[in-house]
Structure 1
């Protein structure tokens, strides 16, 4: 099996979708016919490409957006399996990739009140939910796990204002869940493709514009690099 960023990304995310967990380095090295050292090096290259997040010591898969291999505040469940999503955005993206009836269980603002978002026949049934994006996209990959941990669901914008004040968090963009759902379908739409490539910064900007994401947190300078 040819070992490239695209083929490795596809192998990992397909394994997560099918098995509910990421493959281990030893499993991937056998599948691709390479040594574990070569596989770890390939995984680090994929991480440099922003295609995966690895455990810093073991180099095993920690995050393969939109899925997490570690417990998070977003639990995705269907009749055929269950997964962790990294954040509100990722969980909706995972739902789009899975393309089936499912629920996303989380807590509002990462606090005590639980909410269940149901997606049935491709539609969100409870649309009175908002998603808060507090971290500017230009800083998203400085600590992407932290960035994801802050993208949470709320029941109102005033609730977000209160949450930001209590936690000393700068308020970012607030989007209705249905717009994030439609946005996530496009953003994560190619993640299960064998020929997946990471969005460029300019492609990302075009998608942000398409969904009228106008808040300054979405601003990024145009360049030829990958998001």
Structure 2
């Protein structure tokens, strides 16, 4: 358990409740800590990959929550969240079970065609679209905002190839919607609970294999 568990919980629960990132002042009031302690705690949470901060120390991401738009919107019963990426957008209804199904919407990065799915915890949504992940797992935290911004949903593999040609990118990993749903289903289990622990590398690999992923892209 992190030394700053109260702070971590305050960040995640604020995102879950409001759809936005709490400020340092918000967190100081919630945790009854001074601003200096909060800022030091956020820096430690960023170091241990529980949150991502911008250069000013503001929260940008606390996966699967995002404070910035990266291509997805997720609409619950009363709350709108930015979906940080395809993975995180599909994970939100898994983490927020009381929401039931949520509406995940985006545009194909290649042709701008709009897409939307009702995504819940009972099974993957229907659709022939595919998810494309550009950055391999060993490099995902080099620039996590860029990584998440390039985990997108496309109309088809043809649109993936067109986007790669348009942007000069090397094709990464492509998966169908059921695989994406399985990847998201339990990856973030426990993040809203006290005592959450990140998976150790071998446990993470076992999880990835279990949802049907393989190859060097995933470190497998």
Of residues 35-44 and 14-23 in structure 1, the stretch that sits farther from structure 2 once superposed is 14-23
Q: CA deviation at 1:128?
A: 1.5
Q: Contact 1:134 / 1:217 at 8 angstroms: preserved in 2?
A: no
Query: Which residue in 2 is equivalent to 1:52?
Result: 51
Q: Answer whether contact 1:92 1:181 (CA < 8 A) is retained.
A: yes
1:182-221 equivalences under 5 Å are 182-219=182-219
CA-CA distance at 1:102 after TM superposition:
1.2
Q: Bigger shift: 81-90 or 20-29?
A: 20-29
The answer to which of 163-172 and 146-155 deviates more is 163-172
Q: 1:12 — aligned with what?
A: 11
Number of aligned pairs? 218
Q: What TM-score, normalized by structure 2, do the two folds share? A: 0.91
Structure-to-structure mapping, 1:139-218, within 5 angstroms:
139-218=139-218
* 1:35 corresponding residue in structure 2: 34
After superposition, the Cα gap between the structure-2 partners of 1:197 and 1:110, relative to the gap in structure 1 and judged at 3 Å, is farther
Question: What displacement does 1:111 show?
Answer: 5.2
When the two structures are superposed, what TM-score results if normalisation uses the length of structure 1?
0.89
- Contact 2:110/2:159, CA 8 A, preserved across alignment: no
SS at match of 1:109: coil
Mapped to 2, the partners of 1:217 and 1:114 lie a distance apart of 28
Asked whether the 8 Å contact 2:104–2:117 carries over to 1, the reply is yes
Select the residue among 35, 59, 83 that pairs with 1:61.
Answer: 59
Contact 1:110-1:152 within 8 A present in 2 as well:
no
Q: Secondary structure at the match of 2:21?
A: coil
Aligned partner of 2:93 in structure 1 is 95
TM-superposed deviation, 1:12: 1.0
**Does the Cα contact within 8 Å between 2:90 and 2:119 map onto a contact in 1?**
no
Q: Is the 8 A contact 2:106 2:116 kept in 1?
A: yes
> For 2:108 and 2:116, how far apart are their aligned partners in 1?
10
C-alpha RMSD over aligned residues: 1.9
Distance 2:111 2:61 in 1: 23
What are the ranges of 5 or more consecutive residues in structure 1 without an aligned counterpart? 221-227
Question: Match of 2:186, SS?
Answer: helix
1:225 maps to none
